[in-house]
Copies of this chain bind each other. A is one copy, B any other.
Amino acid sequence: MRTIEWRDGVVTMVDQRKLPRQFEVIECRDYDAVAAAIKDMTIRGAPAIGAAAAFGLALAARASRAATRDELLRDLDTAERLLRATRPTAVNLAWALDRVMSKARALDLPASDLREQVTAEAQKIADEDVAMNRAIARHGAALINDGDTVLTHCNAGPLATVDVGTALGVIIEAHRQGKEIHVFVDETRPRLQGARLTAWELTQAGVPMTLIADNAAGYFMRAGKVQRVIVGADRVTANGDVANKIGTYKVAVVAHENGVPFYSAMPTSTIDLSLPNGDAIPIEERDAREVTHIDGVCIAPEGVRVSNPAFDVTPHKYIAALITDRGVVYPPFKDSLLRIMRAEA
């Protein structure tokens, strides 16, 4: 089943805050509910929140009482602003909103037909995400050798996308091809997406894995026990810099230092050629309680000052290759990214 789906005018999504203890699907009946679900990370992962935002617009279109095309576009604008403000770092969210809004603005149709088209475009985004992830998995699996141990950080699995996953899609595909691989899963503090989601997904897929504290990743790389690092991405800039879950930068530097190839996998919807480099990417700062509390239990002195950046930027010089739905691209990324973004999908 998919992480997020449109079912007869209702958006359903797996509640990722409850895994691995509980598998629960929630229903969003209006765009406010979708915005709240993105913000509180009921749904997370760059491609998944892109699809969620698009479905949010579909819900807004459906709920709108607009009689004319212009009235409907105004209602969509209102929803679009709320959805856009939920999370700043992953570009897929803005990309999906832009795509649906451009489509709507480009069509000179009566309101009722436009409603249908908005929903169809959101559905298309979701379907294309699955197709892109399948292509990523196919391209990326070729980089994994039989016998490799692969380290991953955070969750870039089926749950982070509409289905299949990016980094984890590659790993699971390599496993399905019969390659004997083992995965080190960084638990990924503060929200523990590695321990909660990646470990759960790999267990479901039957891929052999070992959960480790983020702090142990360097130990295993230095010991020669990691042959590849693969992570997802929240935004890739024109020069190949990658914004991804906080801690990715440390992993990439240490991988580089130990001669371990570091790959980032993403659909082309994650590539933002409008930004020259990673310094221009807005980094979301999240609530202190994500650090001080784990499942409601306080693990630090009360009232302690906390800084909780949710993402960091890995400069392209630490990245061996980017795995996209249009193929694997290598440095210099400025050229190779431009080439694939201009190419037909």
Contacts and interface: CB of A to CB of B under 8 A. Distances in A.
Interface string A299-322: 111101111110011000000000
A195 B308 CA distance: 13
Q: Give the bracket for the number of chain A residues in contact with chain B.
A: 35 or more
B213 A246 contact: yes
Contacts of A210: 305-307
A215 B154 CA distance: 11
Nearest to A258: B253
A273 interface: no
B219 A312 contact: yes
Contacts of A211: 291-292, 300, 304-307
Contacts of A298: 21
A167 B304 CA distance: 20
Contacts of A8: none
A222 B312 contact: yes
Interface stretch (A41-49, A92-100, A172-180, A185-193): A185-193
A68 interface: no
The complex is assembled from copies of this chain, and their number is 2
A51 B99 CA distance: 66
- Of A216, A292, A294, the most chain B CB neighbours within 10 A belong to A216
Contacts of A307: 184, 210-212, 216, 220
Interface in A210-259: 210-220, 222, 245-247, 249-250, 253-254, 257
B199 A308 contact: no
Given A189-B215, A210-B306, A20 B301 contact: yes
A250 B254 contact: yes
A278 to B, nearest CB: 10
A218 to B, nearest CB: 4
A298 to B, nearest CB: 8
Given A195-B300, A215-B245, A218-B247, 19 more contacts: A21-B298, A189-B213, A190-B215, A195-B291, A195-B292, A199-B300, A200-B301, A203-B304, A209-B305, A213-B247, A213-B291, A214-B214, A216-B307, A219-B283, A219-B312, A220-B307, A250-B254, A253-B257, A295-B299
